[in-house]
């Protein structure tokens, strides 16, 4: 189910209200508790979190078929998007010395080889993808379409982010690295972006898309020739990367009209103010983060942002700070929210079994996996806090985001922060041990802690921490001609795009 509040008229907080003060741990966590962990400096924490999150991808991704788990340890199937983050992680690990460059190159080459040779076709089963795109979820057994999952344009784009990063990172004159570059090029060139434009479907868009907009997915088992569903990438969301990659294609590109009449068509409607921060509204923070993992939007602008006088990086900074301000205000009176512990995005949740239970004098509703988030347009909040919300925003506002993660670690210790970094989410308000939870553990004082890590939530933590620490992913991707071409075709100018011209 979904749980939404309407738009809220919320007070603008004084800046002093957002100053960070230590948050005491929940009643069940003390220095002598089994949950307590040693204190770390910020630099020590950044390195430990990076290493643990890298280990998640290195140790859990199937090396035979390069299938990164959608979630772990339950591991029901593989996620194409998580695999894109795994490919990104391998090079970060090589740069950090967690593995050798040769080890990372071997793993990367084998991964790209699998996806280049994996079966593609229009049949409803037995294929990994079609028209160069890949299915959202793949089976662990054979690496082919799982169930009725869609051919996903955004999840393919997140995979391609990792593919093109590998292409530009492995730039040495060795046979293996040359093979990586060649395989990456072939995988990217094979994608037919014109296939997923709405003009090729008889089904009208359900969210304002035009004939040029890119559809979110394609289903081979719906209709005689498959079906593109009802929604396109229109309006401000994580789909910006989809259009950049589609425009940059040297073989099957979209034109600028797709951007102008699709993703960017209604940006004025998404512009608003939340807790004093004026920016494009999108409640889950992943919408402000995913495209930024691989594209450095600092100082570059399209037509819309030139008119607003900022860039998309600044827009994401404001979105991050407005979420923190919501945490300070805590208008819905959940337990554990503060300037030090905050963050909402798509994540696991406890369940809806505790619906109607009272927290701080109010009957509540809870959710399982949902796109949580807060904005001027809507609030989707059931008391669940998500570490990747702060972690994926580290470069936008490093002081407050890293502090938030450190406070989560200090407050919840090894119940939340373990061998692979942060479990997916936690809910201090969900203390109903009699109800329990199918997705995690419930403690009468600490609340609910997720059982699983989720790959697409782990990935932004590692990559964006690295972008903050060294700029590695951004610096590397600025060299990729496909990224530059895509941005320029969509009308982006300024900053690093104009350097060297």
Specify the higher pLDDT residue, 137 or 9.
137
117: Cβ–Cβ under 8 A, 6 or more apart, which residues? Answer: none
pTM of the predicted structure, to 2 decimals: 0.92
Segment holding 342, helix H or strand E:
none
Residue 329, in any domain of the structure: yes
**Element housing 217 (H / E):** strand 217-218
Structure token pair of residue 144: 């082919």
According to the model, what pLDDT value does residue 452 have? 98
Q: Residue 281 in contact with residue 272, Cβ under 8 Å?
A: yes
pLDDT in tens, 82-135: 999 999 999 999 999 999 999 999 999 999 999 999 999 999 999 999 999 999
For residue 402, what are its two tokens?
């890293």
The span from the CA of 438 to the CA of 443, in Å, is: 14
C-alpha closest to that of 89 among 469, 468, 455, 487: 455
Measured CA to CA, the distance from residue 184 to residue 351 in angstroms comes to: 40
**Is residue 426 domain-resident?**
yes
Q: Is the model's pLDDT at 185 over the cut of 60? A: yes
Omega within 30 of 0 (cis) for the link into 106: no
- Give CA angle at 269 (265, 271), nearest 5°: 110
What is the pLDDT, as a whole number, of residue 18?
Answer: 35
What confidence tens digit (pLDDT) does each residue in 197-208 have? 977 555 555 555
Examine residue 318 and state whether it is found in any structural domain, yes or no.
Answer: yes
Find the CATH number of the domain harbouring 370: 1.50.10.140
Q: Is residue 349 part of a domain?
A: yes
Residue 148 lies in a domain: no
Structurally, how many domains does the chain consist of? 1
Any domain includes 57: no
| CA dist., res. 414 & res. 248, Å (int) | 44
**Which residues lie below 8 Å from residue 52, measured CB to CB, with a gap of 6+?**
419, 420, 421
User: Does 361 have pLDDT greater than 50?
Assistant: yes
pLDDT digits (tens, 9 = 90+) for 295-304: 999 999 999 9
Examine residue 21 and state whether it is found in any structural domain, yes or no: no
Structural domain contains residue 147:
no
Give the pLDDT band of residue 474 (cuts 50, 70, 90): very high
Q: What is the pLDDT of residue 225?
A: 78
In contact, 112 and 183? CB cutoff 8 Å: yes
Give the pLDDT confidence score for residue 85 in this predicted structure: 98
Closest CA to 225 of 151, 145, 143, 147: 151
What sign does the CA torsion over 383, 388, 389, 390 have? Answer: positive
Query: Domain range holding 403?
Result: 271-500
Q: Across the chain, what does the average pLDDT equal? A: 91
């Amino acid at each position: 189910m979904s749980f939404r509040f309407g738009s809220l008229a919320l007070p603008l907080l004084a800046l002093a209200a957002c100053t960070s003060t230590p948050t005491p741990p929940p009643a069940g966590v003390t220095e002598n508790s089994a949950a307590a962990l040693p204190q770390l400096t910020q630099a020590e924490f950044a390195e430990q979190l990076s290493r643990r999150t890298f280990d998640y991808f290195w140790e859990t991704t199937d090396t035979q078929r390069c299938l990164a788990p959608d979630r772990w340890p339950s591991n029901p199937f593989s996620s194409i998007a998580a695999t894109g983050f795994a490919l990104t992680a391998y090079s970060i690990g090589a740069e950090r010395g967690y593995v050798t460059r040769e080890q990372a190159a071997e793993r990367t080459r084998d991964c790209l080889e699998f996806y280049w040779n994996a079966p593609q076709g229009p049949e409803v089963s037995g294929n990994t993808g079609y028209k160069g795109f890949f299915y959202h979820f793949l089976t662990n057994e054979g690496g082919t379409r799982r169930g009725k999952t869609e051919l996903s344009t955004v999840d393919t784009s997140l995979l391609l982010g990792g593919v093109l990063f590998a292409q530009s990172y492995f730039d040495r004159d060795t046979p293996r690295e040359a093979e990586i570059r060649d395989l990456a090029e072939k995988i990217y060139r094979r994608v037919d972006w014109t296939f997923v434009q709405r003009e090729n479907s008889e089904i009208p868009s359900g969210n304002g898309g035009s004939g040029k907009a890119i559809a979110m997915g394609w289903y081979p088992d719906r209709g005689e020739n498959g079906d593109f569903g009802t929604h396109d990438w229109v309006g401000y969301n994580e789909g910006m990367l989809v259009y950049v990659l589609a425009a940059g294609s040297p073989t099957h590109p979209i034109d600028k009209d797709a951007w102008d009449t699709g993703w960017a068509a209604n940006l004025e409607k998404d512009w608003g103010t939340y807790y004093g921060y004026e920016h494009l509204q999108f409640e889950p923070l992943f919408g402000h983060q995913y495209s930024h993992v691989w594209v450095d939007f600092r100082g570059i602008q399209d037509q819309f942002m030139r008119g607003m006088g900022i860039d998309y990086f600044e827009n994401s900074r404001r979105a991050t700070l407005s979420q923190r301000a919501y945490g300070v205000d805590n208008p819905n009176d959940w337990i554990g929210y503060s300037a030090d512990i905050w963050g909402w995005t798509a994540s696991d949740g406890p369940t809806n079994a505790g619906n109607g239970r009272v927290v701080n004098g109010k009957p509540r509703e809870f959710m399982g996996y949902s796109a949580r988030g807060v904005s001027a347009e809507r609030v989707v909040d059931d008391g669940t806090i998500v570490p990747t919300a702060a972690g994926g925003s580290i470069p936008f506002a490093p002081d407050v985001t890293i502090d938030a993660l450190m406070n989560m670690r200090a407050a919840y210790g090894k119940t939340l922060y373990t061998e692979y970094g942060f479990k997916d989410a936690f809910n201090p308000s969900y203390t109903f041990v009699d109800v329990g939870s199918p997705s995690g553990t419930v403690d009468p004082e600490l609340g609910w802690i997720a059982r699983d890590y989720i790959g697409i939530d782990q990935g932004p933590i590692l990559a964006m921490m690295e972008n903050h620490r060294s700029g590695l992913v951004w610096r590397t991707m600025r060299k990729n001609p496909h990224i530059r071409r895509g941005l320029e075709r969509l009308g982006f100018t300024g900053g690093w795009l104009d350097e060297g011209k």
